[in-house]
Structure 1
């Protein structure tokens, strides 16, 4: 079980320091997030930063820790620019970048305030598949063209592939044992991991608990080709300040099949850069 921390709030300099502190104190991953202008009370007053700028700086001042964002929103990125930014951070970090990805939050004004941006969930999901397909082709090192559902380009070539040949992709997918949403689940099965959510009214409600993870892992075991390599199961939550209770949380998640626990603090009224720094300096409970 690996443990990561999301830098949800703070200045760019504070985020880079948070990544350094997380690595020095034994964390396995540092994640930023990908938003532009959120039309949501509380969140609309918090500054947002370019995730690749934060991760590039973090890559230079760290050596071991996994880097990513929870989560990237490819449907509102130009894929050729996304490919270049991801490749840059991948090489700066020596191959430590991962790409948790989703359709993007519908309250981001980068969707709602820009003419022509996809607003319907199905369109954003189809565009997500297009952008991921485009990214994968760009990692070949060969010249390619692309024809997708919403995306069509002529020749491109990125002559240097990622450090490890590809960058791991972890799509977000909703788990519902009664009504499995196969499109998002099948997308995750095709890639390198999954960030599972459940149906809920708030971000906290949507966090997958161990019983959900166990159901999901059992469901996926007979459907994913093991020859595709490791498959990460990445859950979000908040560890208890009590070491014994935190160890029990991690053990329950690991027993259910999760491979990553990511500390996820989003309340804009209580989550400060100082609070996150205190978390980063915590002596982590290990199984």
Structure 2
């Protein structure tokens, strides 16, 4: 399958892969690509909240085991209050310090479209 026009990035658009921590099989798959979308397996199949400490541990694993020298991203997701930049920074900053390179503002609930538009207009959280 070919998509046109071709991507500007070389050799391709970066591929970010879900890595289920601490699954070795899942994390080894992540090492072959360009980024990590962190997930955490609790007891059984349940997902658990990702903490900055988890990001730090995943980054250490990647730094130790990844042989590729191409750029690598760690993409954390969550929700921040757009009306309170200081609180938003307090949420995001620990993840950035732990090694996350992207923050994906994710609302998995289904708020009214007006609320989503307002949040988009408020802009992303800032860590600087």
Largest Rg, 1 or 2 = 1
Q: Is the 8 A contact 2:78 2:106 kept in 1?
A: yes
Q: Is the 8 A contact 1:173 1:195 kept in 2?
A: yes
How many corresponding residue pairs?
A: 122
**Which ranges of 4 or more aligned residues in structure 1 deviate by more than 4 Å?**
none
Gaps of 5+ in 2: none
Q: Report the secondary structure of 2:122's partner residue.
A: coil
Q: 1:152-195: CA deviations, max 9, x gaps?
A: xxxxxxxxx5332312111111112xxxx122111111000010
Match of 1:235 in 2: 76
Q: Report the secondary structure of 1:217's partner residue.
A: helix
Work out the CA distance in 2 between the residues paired with 1:167 and 1:284. Answer: 23
The answer to whether residue 96 in structure 2 is matched with residue 254 in structure 1 is yes
Superposition TM-score, scaled by structure 1 size? 0.39
Work out the CA distance in 2 between the residues paired with 1:183 and 1:231. Answer: 19
Q: 1:209-235: CA deviations, max 9, x gaps?
A: 2111011101111101252x1101001
Q: Report the secondary structure of 2:54's partner residue.
A: helix
Match of 2:37 in 1: 195
**CA deviation after TM superposition for structure 1 residue 242, in Å:** 2.0
The answer to whether residue 105 in structure 2 is matched with residue 263 in structure 1 is yes
Q: Is the 8 A contact 1:207 1:236 kept in 2?
A: no
1:215 and 1:166, CA in 2 relative to 1: closer, same or farther beyond 3 A? same
Q: 1:123-155: CA deviations, max 9, x gaps?
A: xxxxxxxxxxxxxxxxxxxxxxxxxxxxxxxxx
Gaps of 5+ in 1: 1-79, 92-160
Work out the CA distance in 2 between the residues paired with 1:284 and 1:174. Answer: 26
